[in-house]
Amino acid sequence: MSDANFATFASDYVVIMSAPNGARRTTAQHAAVPVTPSQLAAAARALLDEQVAVLHMHVRDDDQQHSLDVDRYRAAIAAVEAAVGDALIIQVTTEAVGRFNRQQQMTTVRDLRPEAVSLALRELCPDEAAEVEAAEFFQWLVRERIWAQYILYSAADVRRFESLRVRGFFGEEHPFAMLVLGAYGSGQHGEVIDLDTQLAAAEYSQFPWAVCCFGPNENAAAVHATELGGHVRLGFENNLVLADGSVAADNASLIRQYRQSLDKHGCARAPARAIDIRQHWLENA
């Protein structure tokens, strides 16, 4: 994207992403966690109705465990596309979850060649020794026009991301950052103030960014991010409850709550459609 495009886009649109399953939660935690291709397809239809533009996709094995298997990804992508066509951008994940190494993560993406991918910077480039290989991979993504989103878990991650960005490490001047508040597991809920801490760690006007928040503050953090010009990701990967403490019926209800909150705040940014993102973001990258 050109120097001004991402900021202009964000002034008009908010990208609503949904992470409907994640790598860890199963139907044992909530019956509406989608773990099969058909369940992902049904969730995608409902999320599209709530103006989600990007589906953050995890796939599972037969025991509902996290997988990076390319054939499982292809089956899930085919099911979602059969349900909604190209109305959603499907963003696959490379999350390690303690099971996969950097080479396996990169191989999955090279073999699958998805439209979009999320990558944890600390996993794909854990230290200086990994920088040459990681930079080549990230720059390959740009050449292949695969929309990359870099997952950052702390202010230290943000500072490192910014240092690498200004060096041209990612092969694009304005790579997309996902700021994660909190962490999976009890007692690690994200707080709205965590977003301000991460944003203070870099000149965030120089790159597009989004937020996701673990735990019951998810909606408040998403609204705050939207007010600051960021984009958002909500879903059962990060949170199962509504702002009033009740358990959400499904992923779509979390998105509906967020949009209703924006209406109450008088937000002028319209939910971006997949076609908006492709035309004003990906095709002009």
The torsion angle over the Cα atoms of residues 141, 142, 144 and 149, rounded to 10 degrees, is 50
> Lowest-confidence range among 42-56, 114-128, 254-268?
254-268
User: Beta partners for 181?
Assistant: 213
Look at residue 96 in the predicted model and tell me its pLDDT.
Answer: 93
Q: Which residues contact 39 (CB under 8 A, 6 or more apart)?
A: none
Q: What is the DSSP string of 116-169?
A: EEEEEHHHHS-SGGGHHHHHHHHHHHHHTT-EEEEEE-SHHHHHHHHHHHHTTT
Mean pLDDT of 20-49: 97
Across 251-264, average pLDDT: 96
> Is pLDDT larger for residue 283 or for residue 259?
259
Of 26-40, 67-81, 189-203, 211-225, least confident by mean pLDDT is 189-203
**Region of poorest pLDDT, from 3-7, 21-25, 168-172:** 3-7
> Residues 39-77: pLDDT tens digits?
999 999 999 999 999 999 999 999 999 999 999 999 999
Of 254, 237, 133, 130, residue with least CA distance to 178: 237
Listing DSSP states for 236-270 in one string gives TTT--B-TTSPBPSSHHHHHHHHHHHHHHHT--PE
How many angstroms separate the CA atoms of 238 and 40, rounded?
Answer: 17
Res 1: pLDDT: 40
- State yes or no: pLDDT of 123 exceeds 80: yes
| Cβ atoms within 10 Å, residue 74 | 15
The pLDDT value given to residue 187: 65
Average pLDDT over residues 78-83: 98
At 185 the pLDDT is 67
**Pairwise CA distance, residues 180 & 197, whole Å:** 11
200 falls in which pLDDT band (50, 70, 90)? very high
Average pLDDT value over all residues in the chain: 94
What span, in angstroms and rounded, lies between the C-alpha atoms of 60 and 76? 10
Cα angle for residues 254, 78, 210 (degrees, 5° grid): 35
Q: Which domains does the chain have, with CATH numbers?
A: 5-282 (3.20.20.70)
Q: Band of the pLDDT at 3, cuts 50, 70, 90?
A: very low
Task: Map residue 223 onto helix, strand or coil.
Answer: helix
